[in-house]
Amino acid sequence: MNQILFSEFTMKKPVSMLGAALITAGLLAAPMAMAGSQGAQQGQPQAPAQMQQPQPVEPGTLSKQYQDDELRSFLDVNRDMIPVIKSLSSQNVKDQEQAQSMMQEFQSKTEDSLKQHDLSVQQYQKIGTDASRDKALEKRLINMDPELYKQLQAMQSQAQQQPAK
């Protein structure tokens, strides 16, 4: 399953401008769900490994729920993960063991970044999902760090151009 998820990352065609962030959230959530949801709070369902198309809302509806510092933390985690994603996605997965090792490395580095920037997995995923639903929130994030947005766009484009393995 991890091998499939990792291949999905390199072939996925994100639906929003922050699609790479949502893929990061999905890749982070999948191993956690499969590992028995160590970090999840009781009573809350886990995010599915396969992202579903979120339903759009009226622009601005969700944006006002977030303070700038929380959004900066979200952007910082994405910035931290770009080199990790590039490194891992450039490796050829030879077997299930290697795929699992790569996913564990990705999960560990993502968790470290989330802790460093004082965000939970759930907060990170919620911001990413909300940004794909609320165009005003998405625009707000892009305006906060246009250079990061360009990097994420380039990664998206590169992932879409890679042939299926």
pLDDT number for residue 23:
52
Residue 38 lies in a domain: no
Calpha distance 65→43 (Å, rounded): 23
Q: How far apart are CA 141 and CA 155, in angstroms?
A: 17
Residue 23 to residue 160: CA distance in whole angstroms: 13
In a domain, 144, yes or no: yes
Report yes or no on 50 lying in a domain: no
Among 22, 68, 18, 71, residue whose Cα is nearest residue 48: 22
Rounded Cα distance, 165 and 10, in Å: 9
Give which of 48, 58, 54, 55 is closest to 27, Cα–Cα.
48
pLDDT at 152 over 60: yes
Q: Which domain holds residue 105?
A: 2-33+60-160
Q: How far apart are CA 56 and CA 137, in angstroms?
A: 11
Q: Which position has the higher pLDDT, 150 or 162?
A: 150
Condensed to tens digits (0 to 9), the pLDDT of residues 85-120 reads 888 777 777 888 888 888 888 889 999 999 999 999
Residue 81 CB neighbours (<10 A): 21
Does 130 map to a domain?
yes
pLDDT of 146 over the 90 cut = yes
The pLDDT value recorded for residue 86 is: 80
Structural domain count, the chain: 1
Whose CA is closest to 152, among 90, 47, 81?
Answer: 81
Within a domain: 106: yes
* Position 53 in a domain: no
* Span of 43-57, 95-109, 114-128 with lowest mean pLDDT: 43-57
- The answer to whether 74 touches 81, Cβ cutoff 8 Å, is no
Compute the distance between CA of residue 81 and CA of residue 127 in angstroms, rounded to an integer: 16
Residue with tokens 């009781």: 42
Identify whether 64 is part of a domain: yes
In a domain, 54, yes or no: no
Of 9, 8, 17, which Cα lies nearest the Cα of 133? 17
pLDDT category, 163, cuts 50, 70, 90?
low
User: Which of the two residues, 141 and 37, has the higher pLDDT score?
Assistant: 141
Residue 86: which residues within 8 A CB-CB, separation 6 or more?
A: 155
CB 21 within 8 A of CB 131: yes
**Per-residue pLDDT, 26:** 52
Residues of the chain with pLDDT > 90, as a percent, come to 31
For residue 12, is pLDDT > 80? no
More confident residue, 123 or 89: 123
Q: Which residue has the higher pLDDT, 143 or 26?
A: 143
